[in-house]
Structure 1
């Protein structure tokens, strides 16, 4: 089969013929239809410091995908040949304390699909059946391909009740925009999203946020005043990993405000802990998706009319992966999808 491979320790990817994956009794084999390009894939392509630590070439990349089940192992139940599935890309041990307690998203032995083992940028991918999410209702294939990052957005946005709340989202990347869309769908009152990219702020306007804010020109405090928020924001969704974003968020939260933090900083930085303490602010770290409560919420949101199409801005046949990766790395895009049926 054809696959996108990180062949050696250095920049670049190769489209190569590799053996089809071997499946066990608890696995499913999936014919890949669409894949989404993630920031993780860009790091691996560049083979930066993180990738040098995390990846051992040769490796088939990719963890955002949708496909059709073509065969199942002898012990598999609940998934059938012909099912349309997306994949939970965090493979857990099943035996640690958190796994046994049903908190699989907290497994400390998690292996990442397309990072710690061969992934989905290929014509076929093997996956434990317990990691396959079956789409029981009609769904656009491009949307189904980005269920993994959509899950990050849903997990973050639904960390706290949103009905009637004023929400600040810092970082208008694709996941931040999807989180803003979820907040709108879930009944938030005002939603402000910040960035320094006018392109991405324009994408955010398409999902119905109350206010987009270029923080290179306008402060969060000014936006708060413009909306008439006398006490500050109730909910913060930090999606950028930028120190100035979190500091600005903390400074503009109401007393008792709650922050869910998905953005991953590149290094340690200082925050005003006296403000966190005296304002009684809650900060929750978020990584990945809850298995599988987040996935239920994702499907229900899509069935309920949540439209992710504004976030998908690039569609390429897999043979044009170089152009697709360049698009994804440009910053002038939303989500970029590869078509493996071409």
Structure 2
């Protein structure tokens, strides 16, 4: 089968032939249809210090996908060939305190699909049956392909109650824009978004943002946006140290921040200011397994439209163009097609 493989340190991936994996007793073999390119994949493609430290090569990369079950192991029940599926990209140990207490999103031994074990950028993928999510009827393939990223957005947006609250979002990439859409759906009174990219600010507008701010020119001023007391809720989605500092400064007393963005450098933080203004900062990683997934499906059933988030499609063999597009600031979610499109 064809797969995108990180062969060693340095920049780039290779589109190569490797053996098709074989499912064991409790595994599922999935024929991959479409995959989404994530920021993690870009780091691995670039071979940045985190990727060099973390990814043991050779490694099939990728974790956002939708596919059809091709075969199941003899110990698998409840899953059938032909079902449309994605999967939780954090494969948990099932034996630690958090896993046993049904807090799998806090598993310290979790393995990342496409990072610590072979991933989804391939024609076929094998996963433990317990990690597989069966989609409800009618889910568009593009949306199903980015369910992992959608889950990040929902995990952030559902960290705190949003109805009638004011929200500031720093970072309007695909996950940030989807978080805007969820916040609007949840009844936020005002959603302001800052980003460096005019394209992504437009993406945020399409997602439902009431106001957008060009970042980098000046700090976000709550008063200029009609928020003299600052914002009730913050979503930090960028990983940019300046954006993180601006977000903290723009919060109201008692404000609450859900932080998903991962900075590449240390962020100076005035902890006395956080204490005196009684701010809450909640770190967010991944999704709650499988609570967030059920919430995602319910949101789609309730009419949430994410079609705005997907902006580009490429055939899998054109991965270099796809990665270059995803790395620019003028794209939303970029999808790789592993099977012919209807």
1:236 to 234, 237, 240: 234
Number of positions where the alignment pairs a residue of Structure 1 with one of Structure 2: 340
Question: Distance between the aligned counterparts of 2:236 and 2:262, measured in 1?
Answer: 9
1:228: Cα distance to partner?
2.6
Q: Name the SS of the counterpart of 2:19 in structure 1.
A: coil
What is the aligned partner in structure 1 of residue 313 from structure 2? 315
1:27: Cα distance to partner?
1.0
What is the aligned partner in structure 1 of residue 139 from structure 2? 139
Q: Name the SS of the counterpart of 2:33 in structure 1.
A: strand
Q: Say if 2:26 is the partner of 1:5.
A: no
Alignment of 1:175-254 (within 5 A): 175-221=175-221, 224-254=222-252
1:218: Cα distance to partner?
4.8
What is the aligned partner in structure 2 of residue 270 from structure 1? 268
Alignment of 1:1-342 (within 5 A): 1-221=1-221, 224-342=222-340
Q: CA separation of 1:125/1:57 partners in 2, compared to 1, >3 Å: closer, same or farther?
A: same
| TM-score (structure 1 length as normaliser) | 0.97
Aligned residues of 1:174 and 1:335 also touching (Cα < 8 A): yes
1:220: Cα distance to partner?
1.7
1:321: Cα distance to partner?
1.1
Question: Distance between the aligned counterparts of 1:315 and 1:96, measured in 2?
Answer: 40
Aligned residues of 1:98 and 1:104 also touching (Cα < 8 A): yes
RMSD over aligned CA atoms reads 1.2
| TM-score (structure 2 length as normaliser) | 0.97
Q: Name the SS of the counterpart of 1:220 in structure 2.
A: coil
Q: Name the SS of the counterpart of 1:23 in structure 2.
A: coil
Aligned residues of 1:2 and 1:17 also touching (Cα < 8 A): yes
Q: Name the SS of the counterpart of 2:20 in structure 1.
A: coil
Question: Distance between the aligned counterparts of 2:146 and 2:266, measured in 1?
Answer: 30
